[in-house]
Amino acid sequence: MTIALIGPSGAGKGTQAARLVATGNLLHISTGDLFRDALEKRSALGFLTRQYMNCGELVPDEVVGSLIEEWMVKAMPGREILFDGFPRTRFQAQLLDDLSNRQGRELRAVIYLKVPDEEVVRRLQGRIVCRSCQTPYHLEFLPPAVAGRCDLCRGELYTRDDDNPDTVLTRIRNSHRTLEPLLDHYAEMGKLVIVDGVGDVAAISATLNQVMADIEAGSAAFANAEALGDIQPLKGTVTAISSTEARRAALDIVLLGGPGSGKGTQAKILTRELALDHVATGDLFRENIRGETELGKLAKTYIDRGELVPDDVTEAMVEDRLSRIEDNRGFILDGFPRTTPQAEALTEIMNTLERRLSAVLHIRVSDDAIVKRLSDRLTCRKCQTPYHREFNPPETEGVCDKCGGELYVRDDDNPETVRARLKTYHAQTAPLINYYRGLGLLVEIDGEQSMETVTGRMLEVLGDLGRKSRPPAV
């Protein structure tokens, strides 16, 4: 039997998962544990994960899925599995469904811990963590024996930067955006069980134990549409673009494209030709971490713990960067958004800044062409500068023009891995494309032409948009 325990941050998933494991024949797994284990053991997947983290890039879902699959293969047959905090998105839910089916494991139920926003805020603001061993405590629910000191290692206890009021509220909004489609998915499958997560820890634990017994016996009460409506105060999610005309003279562009589509190259050309700001998420991470900004320090705490940097931190970096762009100057956003919830977050950010997107350019390239392109891609081990054997070769074979570092083919650029990444990309991007098509912002660009032709077509599209946005001559 496979069970997933999900809920908003601060719902008590980790605490309750530990209690369930202690009372049953369960194998407990959380993505944080998986990443730390892979990094510590220096496995191939751990090495690949560290590469993404060190480059300031988001770890793709296919890598997360590979870690989950590797662990499930090692799990002893017949043992029950309890997933803690996974899946977090509808795509990850579909990934888990596929893995379970391939391995002959049935995902019996997904238990959602229902906790109101106000309670989440109260809980997160009382959390403290040991600096040395990362053991969590809570000032109200799980205080340490000695104030300010860890019971296990005597390390200093502190409040994590991401538990401040502003970040907590941002995280809650993000949780609303991702949980709604996830809950719909499992409700449609008839596998969602709702448990009230407010109250005494022991009482909630007893309820969960009874729910597990009911699931095993086939008598569990699964959520219907009415119950789902009751638990979704998933309010405040902004899905419409503000009608404000402020700052419309600037060209604000999102660039979409699969790995190897030429998106990064085109972004740099358009930035130069149109005097736009190029906002790339990889650069944002590196700049914030290198500059030791508050957001950079926060992102680094996740990376150092071997955890994925959550969407709310990425969104905060994007909002901070966009807020520093002059009113009459446009931007090209490269690498964000990647999912529909992130697109909704961007819409909310744009409304706050009184800006609006001019267009979303989608560079379409066939999978076969992308596989060929990426197989010839090279990267400098030292400064991460990208090259290509055909389109952008180095002056000296195998040597970086900028720093003299060694050039190599990244592990995730081999054909098999590329096709896995493309499968993930299509699954995530299809809803995103439909989202922007529905808003009338999507412009499709044929990316299989020469680089110059693709650039010309983009400049033509953006030139037309620029003329439309200018006020009429007087």
Active site residues: 263, 338, 377, 410, 421
Place of tokens 């926060």: 298
With helix as H, strand as E and coil as C, how does 337-374 read?
CCCHHHHHHHHHHHHHCCCCCCEEEEEECCHHHHHHHH
Integer angstrom CA distances of residue 41 from 47, 56, 69, 343: 9, 21, 17, 36
CB 377 within 8 A of CB 413: yes
Give the single-character DSSP code of 403: T
Report how far residue 464's alpha carbon sits from residue 56's, in angstroms, rounded to the nearest whole number. Answer: 35
Report how far residue 426's alpha carbon sits from residue 258's, in angstroms, rounded to the nearest whole number. Answer: 8
Q: Which helix (H) or strand (E) holds 280?
A: strand 277-280
Look up residue 463 and give its two tokens.
């030139």
CB 392 within 8 A of CB 288: no
Report how far residue 348's alpha carbon sits from residue 9's, in angstroms, rounded to the nearest whole number. Answer: 21
Report how far residue 17's alpha carbon sits from residue 30's, in angstroms, rounded to the nearest whole number. Answer: 10
Torsion of Cα atoms, 311 then 314 then 316 then 318, to 10°? -130
Look up residue 423 and give its two tokens.
């499968």
CB 274 within 8 A of CB 461: no
Helix pair 165-188, 311-323: axis angle to 10 deg:
130
**Of the candidates 174, 184, 186, 169, the residue with the CA atom closest to the CA atom of residue 83:** 186
Helix pair 294-304, 281-290: axis angle to 10 deg:
100
Phi then psi for residue 377, to 5 deg, are -85, 140
**Of the candidates 417, 419, 393, 267, the residue with the CA atom closest to the CA atom of residue 331:** 267
Phi then psi for residue 340, to 5 deg, are -60, -45
